[in-house]
Amino acid sequence: MSDGSGHDEPYDYVIVGGGTAGCVLAARLTEDPGCRVCVVEGGPSDVGDERVMKLRNWINLLGTEYDYGYTTVEQPRGNSHIVHSRARVLGGCSSHNTLISFLPFPQDLREWVRHGAEGWDPGTVLPYRARLQNTIRPVAEKDRNPIAHDFVTAAVDALDVPVVDDFNEHPFTEGAGFFSLAYDPATGNRSSASVAYLHPVLTRPNLTLKLESWAYRLLRAQDGRLARVRVRAADGTDCTVRAERELLLCAGAVDTPRLLMLSGIGPAGHLRELGIDVLTDLPGVGENLLDHPESVIVWETGPLPPNTAMDSDAGLFVRRDARESGPDLMIHFYQVPFTANTERLGYPTPPYGVCMTPNVPKSRSRGRIWLRSPDPDVEPALDFRYFTDPEGHDERTVVEGLRIAREVAATGPLRDWLVREVAPGPGLTTEEDLSEYGRRASHTVYHPAGTCRMGADDDSTAVVDPQLRLRGERGVRVVDASVFPTLPTVNPMVTVLLTAERAADLITGRAAPEPGDVRAHGRNGPNGRHGPHGTRGTER
């Protein structure tokens, strides 16, 4: 089968997407010097780019040339103005985000198994933490701002939750503390997937990087496999790369289902409406869109000390419902006023300020992604359907989170830093008013997932099987957050890293780590305890 482009460039593996998972796979697969690997990445390299490398600069990457900046369709019960940043740079979102790093909770992985992801139980997945190359550690003492210390103290005293010195030491149900980050405290540089996995191996002769190159269509090879990828370079020229062993899709929860649908793999009715020839009818492609929605409450302060790792170094987890196996509310504490959505509602932006962001860890709302056009240059439609779960769980979580945030803010020593509540302001107190504000001021922490979810063979809506193999095709796997059946309670980057490490074993046949091998993160990442209350334990 020919597309008129001349010869294909052959490789053993073609990885579409040089993001968090793609970097792991590229590094692991090229450990075999006889294995030729090509990575197709739409963005530039991060090597030597200080704007990307400096973790604290993350907020200044949003809305720039490093950001695809996808929008959402109208959200009748949420915020229709959210921009869903997706990274356009080597390392993907690990080169773009705050690098808050949590191991997934065991119960989250057990939930995956209940959804048909056999072999993704905690005993199998969690030992892969021993293979992670990133340096992951709690925020260094020099980066711990006094107001963040006082936030932790106030949360502990107001809510009677424990200090958590290391959120990755063992599973927890609630607590406040400084996050673990994938970074180098000495330099403030990221320990992203590209830094940790790809930078040390960029000179391997069997590794080819096609940067600023957009993969826009998958094609069949002569043997019928979906093994060829049409790629457009920055100068507008096209080429075709071919995977002789496997094609690995790592473009993320937006662009992996987008690429599949553009290639004729997805809901047949939708594809036919757009005039796309159907190769494989997979109704689950683009469905089950997940996210962690959150709202924001803002206070004015005076000038604050400048030290920080990335301006959101500490957080709080609460288990409001004792029947839940883990926390059901998360709050990030920002040492800057995050007002992009409150300004639009007419609230002022103080010259100095802080905010808390009540977050829904296990959102029950489900959305979907679909194509607006068969033209690869037209962005897909994203509908997260925020706050539409029938039981009202997500809405209640935000309302209660706003009230809990106020309770923490009214407690010393944090109280002494705060001049006034700017948004929504102390006048909003009823459940109805707080719900309306909380939903309209809501935003995302950029955790889309689930749009190519894995499941059992008899699940017609599953897109990949538990080996991450694309249903109905040979030699294609999906390895990114789109395969998650459900969203982890916590920030999902480490779960993506673990997924990619396990995928490398599934691809190569290498043995998985022993179940007992769950030592600390990384080769050089200390897991020391640095809590603001010294050696106080993490259990009450």
Confidence of residue 95 (pLDDT cuts 50, 70, 90): very high
Backbone angles phi, psi at 344, to 5 degrees: -60, -25
- Give the H or E element holding residue 152: helix 146-159
pLDDT in tens, 115-141: 999 999 999 999 999 999 999 999 999
pLDDT at 521: 37
CB-count exposure of residue 285 (10 Å: 0-12, 13-18, 19+): buried
Q: What is the DSSP string of 166-181?
A: -TTSS--SSEEEEPEE
Q: Among the options 447, 521, 530, 533, which is catalytic? A: 447
Q: Which of 226, 237, 236 is nearest to 259 (CA)?
A: 226
Average the pLDDT over 447-470 and give the result. Answer: 97
* Cα-to-chain-centroid distance, residue 322: 27
Backbone angles phi, psi at 202, to 5 degrees: -65, -20
Distance CA 251, CA 215 (A): 9
Could you tell me if 163 and 532 are in contact, meaning their C-beta atoms sit under 8 angstroms apart?
yes
Could you tell me if 296 and 357 are in contact, meaning their C-beta atoms sit under 8 angstroms apart?
yes
pLDDT at 527: 34
Could you tell me if 242 and 9 are in contact, meaning their C-beta atoms sit under 8 angstroms apart?
yes
Average the pLDDT over 28-46 and give the result. Answer: 98
Average the pLDDT over 203-225 and give the result. Answer: 97
Confidence of residue 526 (pLDDT cuts 50, 70, 90): very low
Residue type, 475: G
- Based on the residue annotation, tell me whether 521 is a catalytic residue of this protein: no
For the chain, the average pLDDT equals 94
Choose the CATH number for 5-522 among 3.20.20.70, 3.50.50.60, 3.40.50.2000, 3.40.50.261.
Answer: 3.50.50.60
pLDDT at 7: 79
What single-letter DSSP state applies at residue 121?
S
Distance CA 145, CA 335 (A): 8
By percentage, how much of the chain surpasses pLDDT 90? 93
pLDDT at 514: 87
Q: Report which of residues 532 and 360 the model is more confident about.
A: 360
Q: Which of 417, 397, 421 is nearest to 348 (CA)?
A: 421
Listed in order, strand segments (DSSP E) in 344-475 are 353-359, 368-370, 381-383, 418-423, 443-444
Distance CA 512, CA 514 (A): 6
pLDDT at 515: 82
Domain boundaries along the sequence of the chain:
5-522
Tell me the whole-structure pTM to 2 decimals. Answer: 0.94
Distance CA 125, CA 497 (A): 11
pLDDT at 375: 98
